[in-house]
Structure 1
Amino acid sequence: MEQMASDGVEIDVKPMMMEPTAVAVICAVIAVLATIAFFLFRALRDKANTFLIVGLSDSGKTHIFGKIANKNLEPVTYTSFQENVLDVEIKGKHMKVVDFPGAERLRKQLVEKWLKKERASLRGIAFVVDSSSFSKRARDVAEFLYDVALESGKKIPILIACNKQDHGLAKSSQVIRTSLEKEIGMINKTRAAALTTTDGSSFRHTLTDTGANFSWEDLPKPVEFVECCAVDGASVGLEGIRSWIKI
């Protein structure tokens, strides 16, 4: 390629060409790195074999868990203080569904065991909400959900299961979604303000840096909402949860 200099002298400029050997080496390195990344992703994905069901007491978690395990199970209402574990085969892979007790005194155990120590084993978290009493317990639900979303890291998907849709006072998933968004925004704002008045020893991260203007889209993890009911004959069943877990 010829280029005219400012003094009228023609200069022969040759385009930079990479040696074929160098190109081959670079392509080989990229292929190896891509292969390693693929197998690492598969290994981590295979390790993540647990679906965790959480929620406040009386939200209907254990009833949902029981119906997932046995569609013909009769409704039983009681407060559970220990984990229920279901082993299932999904597409030839061994998976677990764990129903964790909703008692407030067990929250620390939930965080330490499942949201920290065993976090890598989690494939998804189903957070069950009692739609019939949501208006009275919206703040409590939001506080618990906030901690679950915060402590579970950036990549574990969360399903908000709006349960007990057979009740006349049940709020729709859209109402619950909007209300929780506002509540979590207020919690964000409150905790962010608290951070500015404490020293490093009591430092705690907030869910996002958007304060009261929190939006579900701010989260780096997918969050879905479904309406459900574990009572036989209800217009809405557990199809949304089953589809999410893929059983």
Structure 2
Amino acid sequence: METDNTVGSNMGEKEDMEASETPFDPYIESLRQQLEDQDPVLLIAVIVALAVVVITCVFLKYFLSSKTVRSAVLLVGLCDAGKTLLFSRLLSGKFKRTQTSITDSSAPYKAKNDRGSTWTLIDLPGHDSLRSQYLEKFKSSARAIVFVVDSAIFQKEVRDVAEFLYMLLTDTVISRNAPALLVACNKQDITMAKSAKLIQQQLEKELNTLRVTRSAALSSQDGSVGGSVFLGKKGKDFEFSQVPLKVKFMECSARGSKGEEGDADIESLEKSLAKL
């Protein structure tokens, strides 16, 4: 009887062991044996390579997702540069009498391209007491910034325009995201309007001067240049080609050469927005 019990017990244990085994056990054992036979240095190299691949995938996912979030086109500039009329022309093509904005306005804008791209067009106030806070609110979502300049009185406003541009170009968020910067030299229908080329040249000179004075002022305070991005390249006169943003100057007229009843001359701006 004891022998029968012993045999039965052994058979039971054997059945339990067989039941606990899985079809993958031989492969797992083979893989374990191969890993033990490998050079430790090679194993470390493989692990590091896999880690790099995983980190790269995570980074690309974050980068691509952050790009898709930035779907706003910001209209910025000084007061009376023509931003709100340009806003209306881009959306409906119609002329609309405007007044100085004290808050933002936004609406979906469908770009004139085959992809049917749709952006959120946002008109920001241009008053110097408001522009900073509204820019702070929307800058992280900007896919493009349309900086509107009054070409007719540019010579009088060049300093103020340059200061606003300096604030944009040295902002850490804008510099990192690098939205397209489209400088729309508006009111070209007026006889005394300055050309886009002249406006670009004048702004480069003014920004070069501002960079020197601002850097000197910040350095004298605490020995550093603060948390903002350095404008351009050190040791070289400033040019727009030196900034991380893709900058394009263009001429336009939100009013149009035929006045209120005619069409706006904004084709160059629309083409640039279609390429975003």
| Contact in 2 for aligned 1:157/1:223 (Cα 8 Å) | yes
Residue aligned with 1:158, SS: strand
Q: 1:186–1:212: 8 Å Cα contact kept in structure 2?
A: no
- The superposition leaves residues 37-81 of structure 1 with CA deviations (integer Å, 9 ceiling, x where unpaired) of 44333211111111111000010000000001111x224131111
| Residue in structure 2 matched with residue 79 of structure 1 by the alignment | 100
CA RMSD for the aligned pairs? 3.1
Measure, in 2, the Cα distance between the counterparts of 1:28 and 1:153.
Answer: 32
CA distance in structure 1 between the aligned counterparts of 2:243 and 2:233, rounded to whole angstroms: 10
Paired amino acid for 1:66? S
Unaligned runs of 5+ in 2: 1-40
Report which stretch shifted further, 150-159 or 165-174.
150-159
- Aligned pairs for 1:122-133 (under 5 A) are 122-133=142-153
How many percent identity over aligned positions?
A: 33
Choose the corresponding residue for 1:169, options 175, 179, 192.
Answer: 192
How far does residue 82 in structure 1 lie from its aligned partner after superposition?
1.2
2:244 matched residue in structure 1: 220
Contact 2:90 2:109 in 1 (8 A): no
For the residues of structure 1 that align with 2:212 and 2:51, how far apart are their CA atoms?
47
Q: Which residues of 2 match residues 45-194 of structure 1 at below 5 A?
A: 45-71=67-93, 73-89=94-110, 91=115, 95-115=119-139, 119=140, 121-151=141-171, 152-154=174-176, 155-194=178-217
Q: What secondary structure sits across from 1:85 in the alignment?
A: strand
Residues in 2 aligned to 1:130 and 1:232: alpha-carbon distance in whole angstroms: 14
Could you report, residue by residue, the CA deviation over 1:20-44 in whole angstroms, capped at 9, with x for unpaired residues? Answer: 9999888766665554444333211
Shift of residue 161 of structure 1?
A: 0.6
Q: Residues 162 and 228 (structure 1 numbering): CA distance in 2 closer, same or farther, change over 3 Å?
A: same
Q: Which piece of structure 1 moves more, 83-92 or 125-134? A: 83-92
Letter in 2 for 1:100: L
Question: Structure 1 residue 153: deviation in Å?
Answer: 2.3
Question: How far apart are the structure 1 equivalents of 2:185 and 2:265?
Answer: 11
Asked if 1 retains the 8 angstrom alpha-carbon contact of 2:183 and 2:250, the reply is yes
2:231 aligned with 1:207: yes
CA contact (8 A) 2:219 2:225 kept: no
Higher helix share: 2
Aligned length: 226
Query: What TM-score do the two structures reach when normalised by structure 1?
Result: 0.78
